[in-house]
Structure 1
Amino acid sequence: MTHAAHDSQAEILDLDAEVLAEHIASIVAWLPVEASPRQIVDLGCGTGAGTLALLRHFPEAHVTAIDSSVDHLQRLREKAREDGVADRVHTVQADLDEAWPDLGEPDLVWASASVHHMADPDRTLRRVHDALAPGGLFAVVELADFPRFLPDDAPEDRPGLEERFRAATHRQLAEHLPHRGADWGPRLTAAGFTIEGERTITVHVEHSRSDAVGRYALAGLRRMRAATADALPVDDLTALDRLLDADGPHSILRRDDLAVRTERSVWAARRG
């Protein structure tokens, strides 16, 4: 991945953390932990949304945050310093499709939007199971779908544009990320876990509740456009580019009808 792509992904991860902070905190609070965990591993931690939410909720815990991106880990360390929790975070750069680092014996492993990226996710689930302390918990959090931002009848000149755009992205991602959208419950059971909880959280954040919604929509749609430009008709691309021109009169940043609409699915699995 190029440095520019890493910057783009980091921006989206940071905006995701800002806009969906309440939802992430509610997932952490819901986890059926038997005792407040002391040792936590965040697999595929990105820029730290999960790590920081876990540290806030479990004030005695230390987190080992693992990601393949040096840039993401650097951003996480900066955020940890800003939050005053740098001494409770240990970052590890590793490609989890290759040799795994020593995870110790964590009480809780958190994997948000990361398991579906693994080349062999079933092997990943077994590795987590074997690393966890007896009775430890594995939390798998997955976005059910890309967030929607625009009303269904928008934009005015090309209604339904976002849905067509998303469909093209889905087709392309199905080839590269075949495990995206999987039901992880049976696969966790097959890896030796007992499912202790499962829930789906509906996310709906209006533009009026967060001024980051517009920036989140702009960054997310720009990234999707870069991935699917060849699959869209010219009229749709033209309309999309008007929305993505941050300084233009039709910029998505000028709209007051935006919202972040998506779902997050969560599985809490216990090692016996």
Structure 2
Amino acid sequence: MIEIDWAGEAGRLRASAEGEGGWNAAVARTLVRDTDQVVADVGCGGGGMAKALAEALPGATVVAIDADPDVLEQAREHTGGLVRCALASMDDGAEPLRRAIDAPADLIWASASVHHAADQQAAVAALASLLAPGGRLALAEGGLPARNLPWDLGIGEPGLELRLDLAQDRWFKVMRESLPGSVPMPYGWTDALTRAGLVDVTTRSVLSETPAPLSSSQLERVVAGFRSRIERLTGGGGHGHVVVDEDWLEPEDLETWEQLLDPEGPYFLGRRTDLAVLAVRSVHLGHAPR
């Protein structure tokens, strides 16, 4: 069983919002229209995209919505008064979200949040019901796993990053099954948008690439990302993940990760010059009928 204490995740989500400012701004510019008046970021996390949308649409009403008050507070601080923040959960259906937005939305953004809803299709349908005629729902879900490491690190078995992805995929399956009232969704996000009554459904995938050598700040973010992933799989680090009777990583790989993430050790990732950033994130877009 896996439970996530989102209050324990709030700081990490704020750091992610700060680190992904460039990506958020670039994507926001491709989504907005000059005529947009009401925009919402549902499951806003640290408020990164909410802030980017507000900056791309001066004068529009932008609402950042999250189900956890501690996470929402981080978003409020990060957005600095540019957006209105509201507490609501997709698991409670459309009406709390409708009250939070307080008007039909021209654009709704939901990034890596719908997959935490017990019934993902019901959540997509709820979000779609909040759109004004011709409004758009953008779901940032999936893509390709990020790549940061060389295949052979000179320690442990080669392919360490690939095996971490596999372990995280198994973790995700159990996380989904652990949600109270979890409902399978055995089809893709474009089908989910279509089943919710949206039209002109499509997917845009965005490539992010920073070649080696990374700057010190970029390197810090990469190392922090790996540390967070390992803590998630081991139940450590105070993130509030409760994992029962599961060994996600092989002991040999876990030992390797401990050495790679040890700032005092000889194999610390933060001193390498061959780490890079290569990621592809997908945004699935549907339009409300006019």
Place the TM-score, normalised by the shorter chain, in its bin. Answer: 0.7 to 0.9
* Counterparts of 1:2 and 1:127, CA distance in 2: 23
TM-superposed CA distance for 1:42, in Å, is 0.7
Structure 2 partner of 1:203: 208
- Runs of 4+ with deviation above 4 angstroms: 178-182, 207-210
* Counterparts of 1:10 and 1:112, CA distance in 2: 15
The number of residue pairs the alignment matches comes to 264
The 8 Å contact of residues 260 and 269 in structure 2, kept in 1 or not, is answered as yes
TM-superposed CA distance for 1:206, in Å, is 3.3
Structure 2 partner of 1:226: 231
The 1:73–1:206 alpha-carbon spacing in structure 2 relative to 1, beyond 3 Å, is farther
What per-residue deviation string (whole Å, max 9, x for no partner) do you get for residues 64-88 of structure 1?
111122222112221222xxxx1x4
Secondary structure of 1:135's counterpart equals strand
2:109 equivalent to 1:110: yes
Taking structure 2 as the reference length, what is the TM-score of the superposition? 0.81
Structure 1 window deviating more from structure 2 (136-145 vs 118-127): it is 136-145
Structure 1 partner of 2:39: 40
RMSD of the TM alignment (CA)?
2.6
Q: Specify every segment of 5 or more residues in structure 1 that has no aligned partner in the other structure, as ranges.
A: none
Structure 2 partner of 1:30: 30
TM-superposed CA distance for 1:92, in Å, is 1.3
* Counterparts of 1:142 and 1:77, CA distance in 2: 24
Secondary structure of 2:147's counterpart equals coil
2:196 equivalent to 1:191: yes
* Counterparts of 1:49 and 1:223, CA distance in 2: 19
Structure 1 partner of 2:161: 162
Q: Specify every segment of 5 or more residues in structure 2 that has no aligned partner in the other structure, as ranges.
A: 178-183, 235-246
Describe how 1:70-81 pairs up with structure 2 within 5 A.
Answer: 70-81=69-80
AA aligned to 1:29 is: R
Structure 1 window deviating more from structure 2 (148-157 vs 123-132): it is 148-157
The 8 Å contact of residues 15 and 212 in structure 1, kept in 2 or not, is answered as no
Taking structure 1 as the reference length, what is the TM-score of the superposition? 0.86
* Counterparts of 1:192 and 1:203, CA distance in 2: 31
The 1:205–1:158 alpha-carbon spacing in structure 2 relative to 1, beyond 3 Å, is same
AA aligned to 1:20 is: E
* Counterparts of 1:55 and 1:211, CA distance in 2: 29
AA aligned to 1:163 is: L
Secondary structure of 1:248's counterpart equals coil
* Counterparts of 2:90 and 2:167, CA distance in 1: 28
Structure 2 partner of 1:17: 17
TM-superposed CA distance for 1:122, in Å, is 1.3
Structure 1 window deviating more from structure 2 (154-163 vs 63-72): it is 154-163
How high is the sequence identity, in percent, across the aligned residues? 32
The 1:91–1:29 alpha-carbon spacing in structure 2 relative to 1, beyond 3 Å, is same
The 8 Å contact of residues 157 and 239 in structure 1, kept in 2 or not, is answered as yes
2:209 equivalent to 1:215: no
What per-residue deviation string (whole Å, max 9, x for no partner) do you get for residues 20-76 of structure 1?
33332222122264x431111110000011101101111122211111222221122
The 8 Å contact of residues 171 and 248 in structure 2, kept in 1 or not, is answered as no
AA aligned to 1:90 is: R
